[in-house]
Structures are given as C-alpha cells and as structure tokens.
Amino acid sequence: MTPHIEAKKEEIAKTVIMPGDPLRAKYIAENYLENYKLVSKVRNIYAYTGYYKGVRITVMASGMGMPSIGIYSYELYKFYDVENIIRVGSAGAYTDSLKLYDIVLATSSYSESSFALTQNNCTEKILYSSNFLNEKIKEASEKLQIKVNPCVIHSSDVFYKENDNFRELYENYKCMACEMESFALFHNANVLSKNAACILTISDNFITGEKTTSTERQNSFTKMMEVALEAAINLW
C-alpha cells in the first residue's frame, strides 16, 4: 500500500493499462476483463485487476494532468514492481490531417512543463516512449487491422490558455496533437528504468473545431482500448 493506492502488492499486475478517467477504467474492466476485481479506490481513482484472453492485466486511472499521473505511475513502478504502463486517453489534434476518432501513438512528448526538472533536475523538453512497447502496439494494431499514427505529441500543463500557440508547436516541434499526461509518465519510466507508452484517440480538432462529447470520450474509444489490451498480452 501507498498513500494513494490501497491495493496489496500482489493485487497489481506487471502491466497496467492507464486511462485518465476512472469511469473509463471501469468501462474497460467491465467490458474486456474476466474475473476482475476492484483493488483500489482511494480518491475514486479506480484500479481493477483481471484477465484479458487469459493474461493478468491491471487497469487503473491516473486522474488528469502530470502531477496526478506522476504520483500513480511512480508508485506503481517503484512500490508495486510494475514493468509496463500503457496510457490510453484522448487528444486534441493540431492538424486537419488527423480526424475525430483517429488513433495516435506517441513516439515522443514535448512539454514546457517543469515536472522533470523538479523531479530530478532533468532539463530535457522532449522525452521518449518505450520502443519495446511501441513495437508491440504496432504489432497489435496490424493484427487487429486498426490503424495507428505514430507522431510527436504536446503534453501541456494548461487546458485553458489565454494565448494558444498550437500552430507554433506544430511548426517548431512537429507536435501533431495535445494531451496532458505523457511527459510525466515517460519521465518516470526513464528515471526508474521501466517501460511506458501512450496511445490516444483524437477527441477534438483545433483546426476544424470538431469535437466529441464527454460521454463519447468515456465510452466510445474502444478501438484504442483493444489495441492497448492486445499489445499488453503479448509482452512476454
């Protein structure tokens, strides 16, 4: 147990699928896992452990933003001996080449955040996901015939900006989409010599103004979930 996770150490699997939304974690458990059990619910951050196609998997929410995923991913890696975390979430597209419900795989994450600097004096602004996990995700997408788009993403600390510079981020750093957690996740994985990946479904588009509803974001991103789960059961 930790200050934020009440599960016993043996109740957490070596691979964790990590949505931000606790209700998305609940949805994945109820619709994909067999013999699942709720193993933690501190602060309503749900964690479920069960079996997907015979392989033991944990699905746990991270909450929103880098401070939140920074806590949960660190504790899972450090105190529960988790080896792999695959974040699944939503993202806003910075280009009209990405459409609603397209799936992106974060090869790297650019951020202005001070998370890494504060955590261990890391001055890098671009952090990378695990090549190992990314290859497994690509293999899973090919097997399921679900297209994923590898790209650089922007990981932001701010949802509501007074001066949105997304066009500069797209032009200068090749950021194709934006979310709020991957930079901290990748940093913790790097610090603790673990594996992290991030697969996202486009929920809105900064160029076209298109967007999905909150209910759709919670329940309708099933293809992304299936790719992540298929990758998770083929890591060994």
Domains of the chain, earliest start first = 9-232 (3.40.50.1580)
Largest CA distance in the chain: 49
Q: pLDDT tens across 155-177, in order?
A: 999 999 888 888 898 889 999 99
Confidence of residue 219 (pLDDT cuts 50, 70, 90): low
Confidence of residue 218 (pLDDT cuts 50, 70, 90): low
Known catalytic residue: 96?
A: no
Its pTM stands at 0.96
Given the structure tokens 């529960």, which residue do they identify?
80
Is the separation of the CB atoms in 153 and 106 below 8 Å?
yes
pLDDT of 76 > 80? The answer is yes
65-79, 117-131, 215-229: least confident range: 215-229
From the candidates 21, 81, 96, 204, which is the catalytic residue?
Answer: 204
Read off the DSSP letter of residue 75.
H
Around 61, how many Cα atoms within 13 Å sit in the side-chain half-sphere? 23
How far apart are alpha carbons 125 and 33 in whole angstroms? 36
pLDDT of 182 > 70? The answer is yes
How far apart are alpha carbons 100 and 80 in whole angstroms? 36
Give the pLDDT mean for 194-217: 91
Region for 124 from its dihedrals, namely left if φ exceeds 0, alpha if ψ lies in -120 to 50, beta otherwise: beta
pLDDT given at position 214: 76
Average model confidence (pLDDT) across the chain:
95
Q: Both tokens of residue 165?
A: 């510079």
Q: Is 52 exposed, middle or buried (0-12, 13-18, 19+ CB in 10 A)?
A: buried
Angle between helical axes of 222-232 and 22-32 (0-180°, round to 10): 70
pLDDT given at position 213: 84
pLDDT of 215 > 90? The answer is no
